Structure 1
């Protein structure tokens, strides 16, 4: 069944990018969720990425994120592409840089769309493209004393 977009609420909002940031302070899930509130949205997805205690069979003690000076511009480009490809009512994405501990929130993205399927697809595209295209790098420290840089996160 094809969706018809004859109501303004079924279309991309006029200014759907509500919050984009790269911060060296703790992230707020509530702030990101509030940013994507929209009365025309029937589906809102929220993804929270946290620092896990293992990677590649090794125990992780902590990690640091750093970014290129162009990271904020690239984040906006990724967000604009998602808005162009989906009927986004509201979008938000915030990534942390600096030193993080196991359990800390590293990234939060949220998307509101008229329907849940669109919200899931747009959110998935947003986090996947953020991880692959925005120049943010992860430096993991393992409990055995070794460390590893991970290309783009």
Structure 2
């Protein structure tokens, strides 16, 4: 939980904590509301989030900050239960390719126990950042309620 707290402290004073739910936290700031978690085996910099941006009409977007820089040729795959999602990726970030996939990811998160973001790092080593999903649905809902008030 220390990384979640560090993220909150590091943020601008306008960021509001909406609560901590098991391994997930919910926060809001003037531009967005989001649920966020660090991997079970915390690696520096890695996290997964579901965010809404009310002013842009965007809701429940999945984003992962990879714990390692990925190889330029490597794909990034999100695994949730039996579901697999190919993500669009930069060097250290990955996203769902579209709103439909975002919705499918959030639905899968609600019914699974864990998820992993898998890729190959710049040195050619395969790796996975694994997240516990207990508390994720509640954190996502808390963020959605905060954005609905705007």
Q: TM-score range by the shorter chain?
A: under 0.3
| TM-score for both structures, normalised by structure 2 | 0.27
| TM-score for both structures, normalised by structure 1 | 0.26
The structure with higher relative contact order (CA 8 Å, sep 6+) is 1
Tell which structure's C-alpha radius of gyration is larger. 1
